[in-house]
Amino acid sequence: MKLRMLRCLRHSKTHTHDLEPATVAATATTAAEQIEQQCNDMQKKFQEPIKILLLGTAESGKTTIIKQMRILHINGYTNDERRDQLPEIYQNIHESIYQLVQHMSILGLEYQSCASRNSAAYIMSLGETAPEFMDEEYCDHVMTLWNDLGIRTCFGRSNEFPLLDSTKYFLDNFERISDYDYIPSTEDILHSRKVTTGIHKITFRVKIPKTLGGGEQEFRMYDVGGQRDQRNKWIQAFEGIQAVLFLISCGDFDQSLREDPLQNRLQEALNLFRGVWQNRFLASAGIIVFLNKQDIMERKIRTGTHIVDYFPEFEEFCNSPQAENYFDECDWTKKFIKQKLIDITQEPVKRPSRNKMDYSKRECYYHFTVATDTSCIRKVFNDVHQMILHEHMANVALL
């Protein structure tokens, strides 16, 4: 802080040898008053709550970020709150195994044994809703199916039908989860998913560095549904927003929308980002993009799924003269998706904001994330907070 004050003093310095002593004293007093006023303005800024809006398509990881903020800044979950997550986790497990069984016949796949066929018939007889309790019979059927080679083959083709990203995680951990005394772990809660409808808010406080005066700053983070039929509600949350966290699931490059099987999920996310970037009601908000689910993207590439099969321009991108030299396809894919976003920010704006903002000077910040990894989100959110502090200081001319 002292360095910034000195910098301000240097900028305000005049040639004192040409001035009368009284004038020199008056100039110094004015400079000191300006610094004091700037510091007061900055403190006022820090006292104002920061409003952040989470946007993105369905299943991009927005609600997981909300959960991470609770873990990092609101002391996580009590045991009673963890038990409240049981129905959601049970439903995720049942939906996963039900979808796999349902698509075995659709994909023309065969079960490994008669026992697996019997288990499949049992699961289908229950319908799409999970049982209230996981009894021994149900658990045996689920484990039989997950150990079946046919079901594993079906899972390997899950880009061909809607399936939760957490399917493998929950079914791999099913024996632990099916225990009578099971209490969901933090990781279990982060992997669970429930469709978001409406607008949800979480409020938390983050410490301000002592070099900036210390104290805490209040954050208000808003999560809105990403399905197409929920996006008309987004505008209700636009007022007073200082930053938008836009999430893109990079692991979705080979999947189609639940709402529209003909639309690629990643392409839908890119189209949606264009609308957010050019939205005149968000023109003054900072835009931060979380290129999420890097772990899923890398797993798919390692097992033989390639983005070029869904975005043919990827090959030209890799061969372009300005392209960097990467040895790993995962790095190329990350760079390609990020470049897609950068290209969108450089497109002409169709409906400029009323305050005649110069979009060419507007910045967009990019972070590669795994929303279920708490250490990753802690680091990234610290970077986001530093960016917001930087913007506040710039607004009061301390930078």
Which residues carry a binding-site annotation for GTP?
A: 59-64, 165-166, 190-196, 223-227, 292-295, 371
3-class DSSP assignment, residue 225: coil
Rounded CA gap, 254 and 81, in Å? 35
Q: Which two tokens stand for residue 387?
A: 């960016």
Retrieve residue 178's tokens.
């099916």
* Bind-site residues for Mg(2+): 63, 196
Amino acid code (one letter) for 213: G
How far is residue 184 CA from its own chain's centroid?
Answer: 22
Half-sphere exposure of 71 (CA within 13 A, CB side): 22
Task: List, in order, residues 6 or more apart from 151 with CB less than 8 Å away.
Answer: 100, 101, 104, 111, 116, 145
Among 115, 121, 177, 179, smallest CA distance to 147 is for: 115
Known binding-site residues equal 59-64, 165-166, 190-196, 223-227, 292-295, 371
Helix and strand element counts for the chain (H, E): 16, 6
